[in-house]
Amino acid sequence: MNERNDLVQSDSNETASTPLQPMSFVDILDGMFLLYRNHFRLFLGMVAVYIVIGFGLDLISVSAVSGMAPVTSIVIVVFTAIGSFIVSFLVVAGLAYASALVYLERDITAQDALQQAWRRFFTLLWSAILWGLVVGGLSITIIGIPFAIYFSVRWGLYTLPVLFEGTTARNALRRSTELVRGTWWRVFGIMLAVSVIALMISFILEVSFGFILTLIGVAEIEGGTPWDTIRRLFMPMPNEVGWFAYAIRRFVSVTLAGLAMPIGIIGSALLYFDLRIRKEAFDIEMQVTD
């Protein structure tokens, strides 16, 4: 644990997030909302980076497609897509690292979390590539889909071994395997539930604000097929609603996606510590080292 010596205990007046003990499924669900609420400003600081840069890159990309030569627009779209991926990847990593530290009741700022994410960026990226190659490769065939699901869960906790434990990319996958071994179905169920909850919250917010924007005239969805109506509600184009309405709609969409982003990440961090406490007596280890 290379980072452990760098951690500083938080102020005693700060509200405790969750107890350092084994957690049930309900405890993990409660804990992820409790951590998000108690440390909302911390998570918002990182989400704001995703919102601002993501929104700006989106406008640049759409502008290129709408008014530039095909070759130029393709180049710009590619570069903005790469930029969006890097920003999203860094923010997700920062959120994961911050989730780990606030669970342990340590002080951390949004800047510190993003800096740690950048320091471990290439190691984490290589872990993600290895995970994606195996899971994606197995998903190509129907026979391979069950194996893809198996490995997606078995290796699904590689993020914090890279960010929090400072391990290598391949060892992070092995570390995830060690933690998941013997509890695959439980981990699968929790991962699935956390993902569904995060997606449902994002979807509900998106639909609600989409209808609100439609009612106040910011987004027009009348006319066309039902598919066109749904597409204009979620993915309107500037030539359909105008640039002003499009900009507002996209800003709201990116903001809502960003605000929902920490939920699943916090849940995964809690699952990681739950497994470490159950398998390695991590709670006792922390009491000894503090």
Which residues contact residue 206 at a Cβ distance below 8 angstroms, ignoring those fewer than 6 apart? 234, 253, 256, 257
Angle between helices 121-138 and 145-154 in degrees, nearest 10:
160
- Strand, helix or coil for residue 105: coil
The verdict on residue 18 lying in a domain is: no
Does the pLDDT of residue 232 top 70, yes or no? no
Summarised one tens digit per residue, pLDDT across range 92-125 is: 999 999 999 999 989 999 999 999 999 999 999 9
Assess contact for 99 and 35: CB atoms under 8 A: yes
Mean pLDDT along residues 133-140: 93
If one counts the domains in the chain, the total is 1
C-beta atoms surrounding 279 within 10 Å: 14
Summarised one tens digit per residue, pLDDT across range 1-35 is: 444 434 333 333 334 445 678 888 899 999 999 99
Q: Specify which of 27-31, 69-73, 282-286 reaches the highest per-range mean pLDDT.
A: 27-31
Summarised one tens digit per residue, pLDDT across range 74-89 is: 888 889 999 999 999 9
The verdict on residue 146 lying in a domain is: yes
Which residues contact residue 254 at a Cβ distance below 8 angstroms, ignoring those fewer than 6 apart? 50, 51, 54, 55, 58
Summarised one tens digit per residue, pLDDT across range 166-218 is: 999 999 999 999 999 999 999 999 999 999 998 898 888 877 776 676 665 55
- Predicted local confidence at residue 253, as pLDDT: 83
- Predicted local confidence at residue 238, as pLDDT: 66
Assess contact for 31 and 23: CB atoms under 8 A: yes
Summarised one tens digit per residue, pLDDT across range 138-177 is: 999 899 999 999 999 999 999 999 999 999 999 999 999 9
Higher pLDDT residue, 91 or 60? Answer: 91
The mean pLDDT of the chain is: 83
Mean pLDDT along residues 51-57: 91
Q: Where are the beta strands (DSSP E) in the chain?
A: none
pLDDT band at residue 287 using 50, 70 and 90 as cut-offs: low
Q: What is the pTM of this model?
A: 0.83
The verdict on residue 289 lying in a domain is: no
- Predicted local confidence at residue 1, as pLDDT: 44
Does the pLDDT of residue 40 top 90, yes or no? yes
Angle at 168 between CA 46 and CA 117, to 5 degrees: 10
pLDDT band at residue 222 using 50, 70 and 90 as cut-offs: low
How far, CA to CA in Å, does 243 sit from each of 57, 190, 216? Answer: 15, 41, 16
Does the pLDDT of residue 91 top 80, yes or no? yes
Measured distance CA(19)–CA(27) in Å, rounded: 10
Higher pLDDT residue, 54 or 68? Answer: 54
Assess contact for 238 and 61: CB atoms under 8 A: no
Residue 147: give the domain boundaries: 24-284
Measured distance CA(44)–CA(36) in Å, rounded: 9
The verdict on residue 142 lying in a domain is: yes
Written as one string, the DSSP assignment of 220-276 is ---SS-HHHHHHHHHS--HHHH-HHHHHHHHHHHHHHHHHHHHHHHHHHHHHHHHHH
The verdict on residue 9 lying in a domain is: no
The verdict on residue 170 lying in a domain is: yes
Higher pLDDT residue, 215 or 278? Answer: 278
**Scanning the structure block, which residue is given the tokens 């499009």?**
246
Measured distance CA(132)–CA(136) in Å, rounded: 5
In 3D space, the residue among 282, 285, 284, 266 whose CA is nearest the CA of residue 274 turns out to be 282
The verdict on residue 152 lying in a domain is: yes
The verdict on residue 194 lying in a domain is: yes
